[in-house]
Structure 1
Amino acid sequence: MIKITVAQLNPTIGDIEGNVARMVDAARQAVAEGSQLVVFTELSLTAYYPGDLLDEPSFLQRVDQGIAALQAASRGLPGLHWVVGAPLPTEGPGKRLLNMLLVIKDGEVVLRYAKQLLPTYNIFDERRHFEPGPDVAKVLRIGTMQIGFMICEDGWNDAGTDYRINPFERMRDAAPDLVVSINASPSNIGKREQRHQIFSAASRRHRLPVLWVNQVGGHDQLVYDGASFAVLPEEGVVYEARRFTEDIRTLSFDGSRFLAASGEPLPPVPAEGLSTMAFYRAQIVLGLRDYARRCGFTRVVVGSSGGIDSALTLALAVEALGPDQVVGVTMPSSFSSAGSVDDSVDLCRQLGITLHTHPIADIVSAFGRQFEAGFGQPLQGLALENLQARVRGTVLMAYSNSRGHLLLTTGNKSEISVGYCTLYGDTNGGLGLLGDLYKTEVFALSRHLNEAAGRELIPQAIIDKEPSAELAPGQKDTDSLPPYPVLDEILKVLIEGDRLPAAEHEAASRFVEQLQQDEAGRALVDRVRGMIARNEYKRRQAPPIIRVRSRAFGTGRQMPIAAKHL
């Protein structure tokens, strides 16, 4: 029997001293609970992913100091094995660093293992900094158990489709009693179930129990959901840590079963996780909370248009930070309807937040007069429409600068995809909460929040109204775009394709195939494809967004601007 403490922590990238302190606290808890082994996550010392901080000598010096601090702390907790992740130098040609797993005991490093499979796709770019480790399995005897070790991607290639090397095969030959895998696996819809399927299949195929430990927390665009788990060859997943929060839990393993620390059986793990909307909500709330905290913001400001996007942004911000930390600003123009202003007032009353009113009609008129005087022609059409958005963006940035609030941008994935947004206007901000949600999902998540609250957090009038930018008389989104239920299905196919969950991919593909049965439908799909390509320059300059789907704009979709796409 061995006791293992799963240390699912929320580390901060670059905060090596702070990360060490959290690890030491978890190790002390492990000792108090009688553990022989405490398991931290991939690159737990630095947090995942440090990016080009790894190129800075001073950063690597701090890494060395952090490892020394962990070794010193381990001397004060004799007998405990610490499994930690850190970037360490390599020897010979190639990249200068290895993505390493260390086992530390009594101040000494008793095992080193270098990650073999380095993901360089989608949001990952590990080959930028790391050299692959050798094709070997590393096993260590702890008490009566032989423990094997892996790092994240090493366990994802058991089907043999992505890499020539399959570390699970080497691990099977080493025949450990248990495999411990340390991870930094970012979350997106369907990812929990994908992990369970892949590691259950590998465990069953190789007859190896697996303990899979993941970090948690928001880091820029990415959110890590934790959800660490244990899997047995016959039973599948038998333990799961909490999602979207830190969780330090001690388990017992007797060679064939995982048990609670007390020896009691573990509760069953449900096959189904959160619903799609509950997942989006949890992911975005944690992403905003950690982004604001790590960047030093306590309050946020949002432009409240009376529309669905700003309403949902405000509601999610209130859940993440509390109503006292969220401010709305309504900025009516000569084209704004009275209903939109009233809806903003009603929304902010329901959410319990402050709403400021800052009309922009006089500013727009003055700008137009000065423009005509300076350039000899009136400001009209699209230029005038965009001016209103840019004035609003300027007002919000001025408020952000003067009060120290983080400005949240409100664009959704549908609008960002086709450029239905104004650069330096409604794209202003430090973070976008909805940028990976299609417009139809924005409506669905708004309804979910109301249902979960048992009341209208977001007034039904906002959910029911036809979307409009209100930058021209009688303007509706459908003046420029296909209806969102049509547009979103096209976008799913063109942007995410086979990265969509299977059922969603099948439905979207079937919809687009039917659409293309006639000339008008084919022309529509081509038009949307062209809009996506032409607006890459806007997305390149937009704020980061919180990723919730498998392919998000930002690091997950890297496309050239000056290129022929069609």
Structure 2
Amino acid sequence: MTAFRITLAQINPTIGDLAGNLELMRQAAAQAAAERAQMVVFPELSLTGYLPGDLLDEADFLARCDRALAELAAATRATPGLCWVVGAPTRRSGPGKALENSLLVLRDGEVVLRYAKQLLPTYNVFDEHRYFEPGPDVGRVLRVDGTQVGFLICEDGWNDAGDDYAVNPFARLADAAPDLIVSINASPSNVGKREQRQRLFAAASRRHQLPLVYVNQVGGHDQLVFDGASFAVTPAEGVVFEAARFAEAVTTLQLADGRFLAADGAALPPVPSAGLPVMEFYRRQIVLGLRDYARRCGFRQVVVGSSGGIDSALTLALAVEALGSDNVVAITMPSRFSSSGSVDDSVALCRNLGIKLHEHPIRAIVGEYEAGFAETFGQPLCGLALENLQARVRGTLLMEFSNSYGHLLLTTGNKSEISVGYCTLYGDTNGGLGLIGDLYKTEVFDLSRHLNADAGRELIPDSIIDKEPSAELAPDQRDSDSLPPYPVLDCILKVLIEGPRLGADERAAVETAYAGLTASPEGQALVAKVRRMIARNEYKRRQAPAILRLRGRAFGSGRQMPIAAKYD
């Protein structure tokens, strides 16, 4: 069999930008044609971006999709003989949903193959059954210049072990005896996902003795980030090619005698089995997520409230990496309870990062609120109400700046604090996006140290990393006054919130520590207390900004819990 040349087009589509997405496909197809490819493969729903959500219920959007599909077919005439494998929503007739999540092969202006996704995930962050009807239980293949190519869409390839669905599209397709399987995907990234994909599809390739290419999209869409990391796998060698992570990539490969080669026929470099170190993964995921969120929403600049603490410091450092120091502004808002060290730490941090720092004290504003409250209600404002007032004044000032100058406000809460409600609604929860809301507090410290080590200097001053965490909303306040030590709290939270979704290595360590903790009555009481805190603060999380997803179960669409419920 002569070599089959296939281009993996790992693009970054924007949801709803049909013209822009089509232009990305045109450019990649032109490169594929120049490299003499016979097929160019784009990600799942590449025409619309994944997932359009309730846009799919709008007649105008569907009409635009119809027109874009016609334009797409016309565009393929510019690359004679080249097969374009694209993902798009398509209309269907009969009972059930009006749409299918489809893979289309277009060539020379015509649709030469259509395949509808059979397995529609409706778990964690996915909700495809809301919009699509499952495709029929068939394997679709197309002969291209002597090579028999079979097609799958994302979830269709994840059930080869038969654990999750009664239907196995991979096995059905293998029965059609293709020479190559092409899988188009929109697989969102979380820690450990890259290794999971490769392990699963390498096992399926071995089981069916079929080579496979897996093409994924890249980019940030609201809370989801797609890392790309498209790959090729053979039964004998496993994963033999991997595209860049967190970047667009258009790569042409040859398939000859069951082996993948580079476009020029050279051997491919080996693919490391291990992915990025966890902290570097978090860093790149957050940076891409913020960069695309800001770009797609029309923001060039961001603003962050700088408390002198570790959470705002890490948020600022990541924002600078994503957008550049000229596009990041910090505001410090000391109250009468703020230590001079916190202001000094904010100054040092912003100097290290090369960003502008504004100081806007809130002592007088809070004082006026206190006086007005006492005059109206006949008693002083104190305790939790006074603490929350300070946070809300700061949140209001940050929103004033955002409204006045057009900056996107980034919220700075971490997963530990958000879990137990150690945050103020309409205060430090204000903002448009949370960068570190899926990082536990212990991970916030680890990632801060990682940034410093990678930079070879103190981006985040050691004085911030080493200080005891404090909200500084009351005299001599410490987080430990209200919460267990963060290593203990994070262990409990990981079990209660993520449980089996933890990676194998992390799960083993966490479960060991958790077993030791719950061996005593005191530990059991602490776990019960934390469980109540998580449940009691669901209403806060429901009103919080979007959080960039980093782990297997993030707050937001990945964890949907009722507010008005009895949990014990």
* TM-score normalised by structure 1 residue count: 1.00
Paired with 2:73 and 2:13, the residues of 1 have a C-alpha distance of 19
Deviations 1:206-239 (A, max 9, x none): 1111100000000000000000000000110000
Q: How far off its partner does 1:357 sit?
A: 0.2
Q: How far off its partner does 1:59 sit?
A: 0.4
Paired with 1:542 and 1:169, the residues of 2 have a C-alpha distance of 43
Q: 2:546 is matched with which residue: 525, 544, 551?
A: 544
Aligned to 2:4: 2
Provide the secondary structure at the position in 2 that maps to 1:511.
helix
Aligned to 1:435: 437
Q: 1:141 is matched with which residue: 136, 143, 151?
A: 143
Q: 2:121 is matched with which residue: 114, 119, 122?
A: 119
Q: 1:40 is matched with which residue: 29, 39, 42?
A: 42
Could you tell me whether the CA contact under 8 Å between 1:212 and 1:230 is conserved in 2?
yes
Aligned to 2:527: 525
Residue 313 (structure 1) aligned with residue 312 (structure 2)? no
Paired with 2:24 and 2:231, the residues of 1 have a C-alpha distance of 21
Provide the secondary structure at the position in 2 that maps to 1:73.
helix
Aligned to 1:18: 20
Residue 487 of structure 1 aligns with an amino acid whose one-letter code is: L
Which deviates further from its counterpart, 514-523 or 311-320?
Answer: 514-523
Aligned to 2:161: 159
Provide the secondary structure at the position in 1 that maps to 2:450.
helix
Paired with 1:173 and 1:381, the residues of 2 have a C-alpha distance of 69
Which deviates further from its counterpart, 233-242 or 90-99?
Answer: 90-99
Q: How far off its partner does 1:525 sit?
A: 0.3
Deviations 1:294-333 (A, max 9, x none): 0000000000000000000000000000000000000000
Aligned to 2:244: 242
Q: How far off its partner does 1:434 sit?
A: 0.4
Residue 269 (structure 1) aligned with residue 286 (structure 2)? no
Deviations 1:423-478 (A, max 9, x none): 00000000000000000000000000000000000000000000000000000000
Unpaired runs of 5+ in structure 2? none
Paired with 2:74 and 2:413, the residues of 1 have a C-alpha distance of 49
Unpaired runs of 5+ in structure 1? none
Q: How far off its partner does 1:376 sit?
A: 2.1
Instruction: Count how many residue pairs are aligned between Structure 1 and Structure 2.
Output: 566
Provide the secondary structure at the position in 2 that maps to 1:130.
coil
Q: 1:374 is matched with which residue: 352, 373, 376?
A: 376
Paired with 1:17 and 1:325, the residues of 2 have a C-alpha distance of 28
Residue 173 (structure 1) aligned with residue 175 (structure 2)? yes
Paired with 2:403 and 2:374, the residues of 1 have a C-alpha distance of 30
Aligned to 1:397: 399
Deviations 1:471-528 (A, max 9, x none): 0000000000000000000000000000000111121112111111111110000000
Provide the secondary structure at the position in 2 that maps to 1:551.
coil
Residue 117 of structure 2 aligns with an amino acid whose one-letter code is: K
Q: How far off its partner does 1:391 sit?
A: 0.2
Aligned to 2:258: 256
Deviations 1:390-446 (A, max 9, x none): 000000000000000000000000000000000000000000000000000000000
Q: How far off its partner does 1:33 sit?
A: 0.8
Paired with 1:64 and 1:147, the residues of 2 have a C-alpha distance of 26
Could you tell me whether the CA contact under 8 Å between 1:178 and 1:255 is conserved in 2?
no
* TM-score normalised by structure 2 residue count: 0.99
List aligned pairs for 1:22-101, cutoff 5 A: 22-101=24-103
Paired with 2:527 and 2:142, the residues of 1 have a C-alpha distance of 56
Q: How far off its partner does 1:132 sit?
A: 0.5
Residue 341 (structure 1) aligned with residue 349 (structure 2)? no
List aligned pairs for 1:388-537, cutoff 5 A: 388-537=390-539
Deviations 1:72-127 (A, max 9, x none): 11112111100000001112111111000000000000000000000000000000
Residue 203 of structure 1 aligns with an amino acid whose one-letter code is: S
Residue 60 of structure 2 aligns with an amino acid whose one-letter code is: S
Q: How far off its partner does 1:171 sit?
A: 1.2
Q: How far off its partner does 1:255 sit?
A: 3.8
Q: 1:212 is matched with which residue: 203, 211, 214?
A: 214
Paired with 2:507 and 2:480, the residues of 1 have a C-alpha distance of 25
Residue 275 of structure 1 aligns with an amino acid whose one-letter code is: P
Paired with 1:407 and 1:239, the residues of 2 have a C-alpha distance of 39
Aligned to 1:300: 302
Provide the secondary structure at the position in 1 that maps to 2:546.
coil
Paired with 2:171 and 2:350, the residues of 1 have a C-alpha distance of 57
Residue 468 of structure 2 aligns with an amino acid whose one-letter code is: E
Residue 23 of structure 1 aligns with an amino acid whose one-letter code is: M
Q: How far off its partner does 1:375 sit?
A: 2.0
Residue 105 (structure 1) aligned with residue 107 (structure 2)? yes
Residue 124 of structure 1 aligns with an amino acid whose one-letter code is: F
Paired with 1:303 and 1:330, the residues of 2 have a C-alpha distance of 6
Q: How far off its partner does 1:4 sit?
A: 0.8
Residue 438 of structure 2 aligns with an amino acid whose one-letter code is: D
Provide the secondary structure at the position in 2 that maps to 1:407.
strand
Paired with 1:349 and 1:76, the residues of 2 have a C-alpha distance of 53
Q: Give RMSD over aligned pairs.
A: 0.6
Identity %: 72
Provide the secondary structure at the position in 1 that maps to 2:369.
helix
Provide the secondary structure at the position in 1 that maps to 2:7.
strand
Provide the secondary structure at the position in 2 that maps to 1:27.
helix
Paired with 1:223 and 1:318, the residues of 2 have a C-alpha distance of 19
Could you tell me whether the CA contact under 8 Å between 1:435 and 1:546 is conserved in 2?
yes
Paired with 1:317 and 1:76, the residues of 2 have a C-alpha distance of 41
Q: 1:190 is matched with which residue: 167, 189, 192?
A: 192
Over 3 Å off, 4+ runs: none
Deviations 1:32-61 (A, max 9, x none): 111110000100000101000000000001
Paired with 1:486 and 1:333, the residues of 2 have a C-alpha distance of 30
